[in-house]
Structure formats: C-alpha cells, structure tokens
Amino acid sequence: MQKEGLNMVEVKGVSKVFNAGRPNEMTALEDVSFAVGEGELVILKGPSGSGKSTLLSLIAALQKPTRGEVVVASEPVSRFSEDFAALYRRRKIGFVFQKFNLIPSLSVYENIITPLLPEKLDEEALKERAQRVMETFAIAHKANEPARNLSGGEQQRTAIARALVNDPPIILADEPTANLDADLSHAFLSYVGQMKEEGKTVIIATHDPLFFDLAITDREIALRNGKMEGA
C-alpha cells in the first residue's frame, strides 16, 4: 500500500525507446506509471532486461523518457536541462550502482567525497561529511586505501557511503547484491533498513529473491518486458 502524504517520485505514463526508427529499435519501457511516497521503500523486481535499470536512470535524470514524465518532489525532472539534471542528482539522489562504479585509482575517502567536489565546501567540511558516512558503514579504517584494493563488501560499503555523503532524500540502488555473496547481501539489507529509518525514500531494482516479501518493504513493483505487472 502506498503511504498517504507527499509523493516523492511520480512516474507518469513513461515509455523509453532506444534507437527509435532504426532496425535495432528496442522498447525498454512502455507506459509505466507509479508513485512512491516520501520515506517509502519500494522494490522494482523483474528478470534481466525487464527495464528496471532504465527506469532508475529515468528517475535519476540520467536519461529522458521517449514519452511520459518523471516528477520528483513536484519537479518535472525529465524536462530538466543537462545542468539542472546534474544539480538534481547531486542534491537529491544517492545512486548505488550494480557494479558500484567506484573510480579504482582513487582512495575510499576520495571516492566518497567525489559528489561533493563541485560544491563550495572547504576541506574540513568534506572530511567531516566523509568521516560521518565512513563510520556509519564501517569503512573509515580503509579511508586511504585505493578502491581497486577493496574486497567486494568494502566496495559495497564505499559505494553506499558515497551515495549518502550528500545526505540525499532519495536512494536508488540498481541490482546492489548482484556481485555479492549471501553474507554481504544480508549486510546490505541492514543498511537499507538504516536508510529507511533515516526517512530516505529508497527504490531498489533487483531480481534477487532476498528482497522479495520483506517486512520493511512498502511495495513491490514487478516489471516484465518493459511493462508493469502490478503495483
């Protein structure tokens, strides 16, 4: 059930077609509509190729829908210019990628502060914010370690710390346990619980059954071949 109150994310009749008009045209999403309330945890589930990642990238304004609209906190993010979209991602979105997408040659600390660098923050403020999330996700002891040297679990915690360092109201996670073993996947679940407790709106795209029918989940949205199966 959707919680009453403000809709944090609204996906309105969204379709996404790649290579439109070409022989390799592919419809990734077709007329998808749903809303996510503030502080909700929503699971986008479905097999590979069902359009989950595309939907997340549309919510993050990394792409624009072919049809329809994405509205976040009453702002039409799918109509944002490139620069507004970047600013929106920096201030509103924390993204945990499937492969974590850390910059391997940067240290844990440097990776974590990357989203903050375009902001006018002094070094003290950067350190303070990084320290807070590094301690929360138990990665402070690896602060100066290059990301390439990290284990899977450490990479995961660094990626989550980076997603949260700018204290965004929305967390998007794309197949966050795809590259993790069972223990680390369970650890991720506990982090998700933490985020929810902090009042974050969390949307996780996954086909990992670990996330299905969880008590902390507010809703599950199933996608298949780019269409919603139920909401």
Partner 1 sequence: MKNLFAFALGSLLRRGAKNLFIFVIFFLMVFVLASVFMVTHALKKEMFTTLSALPQITVQRIVAGRQTQIGVERAERIARILGVSQALPRVWGFYYFPRAGVNYSIVGLESFGQQYRADLQKAADLYVEKLAAEDVMIVGPGVKKSLAEHFYPESFLFVKPDGSLKKVRIAGVFKPQTVLESNDLILMENSLVREIFGMDESMATDIVVRVPNKEEIPTVARKIREIYPDTRVITREDLRISYQNVFDYKSGIFLALFIVAVFTFFIILYDKASGLSSEEKREIGILKALGWKIGDIMRVKFFEAAVISLTAYLLAVTAAVAYVFMAQAPLLKHLFTGFSVLKPPFALPFTVDVGTLALIFFVTVPVYIAATLIPSWKAATLDADEVIR
Footprint on this chain of partner 1 (rule: CB under 8 A): 53, 57, 60, 62-63, 82-83, 86-91, 93, 95, 97, 101, 103, 105-106, 110, 114-119, 121, 126, 162, 166
Pick between residue 85 and residue 195 the one whose CB is nearest to partner 1: 85
Pick between residue 73 and residue 121 the one whose CB is nearest to partner 1: 121
Pick between residue 4 and residue 82 the one whose CB is nearest to partner 1: 82
Minimum gap (Å) between residue 138 Cβ and partner 1 = 22
Minimum gap (Å) between residue 95 Cβ and partner 1 = 6
Minimum gap (Å) between residue 9 Cβ and partner 1 = 17
Pick between residue 105 and residue 186 the one whose CB is nearest to partner 1: 105
Pick between residue 105 and residue 151 the one whose CB is nearest to partner 1: 105
Minimum gap (Å) between residue 158 Cβ and partner 1 = 13
Q: How many CB atoms within 10 Å of residue 36?
A: 25
Minimum gap (Å) between residue 84 Cβ and partner 1 = 9
The token pair at 78 is 């799918």
Minimum gap (Å) between residue 182 Cβ and partner 1 = 26
Pick between residue 45 and residue 92 the one whose CB is nearest to partner 1: 92
- Rounded CA-CA distance 135/159 in Å is 14
Identify the CA nearest to 214 among candidates 161, 181, 177, 180. 177
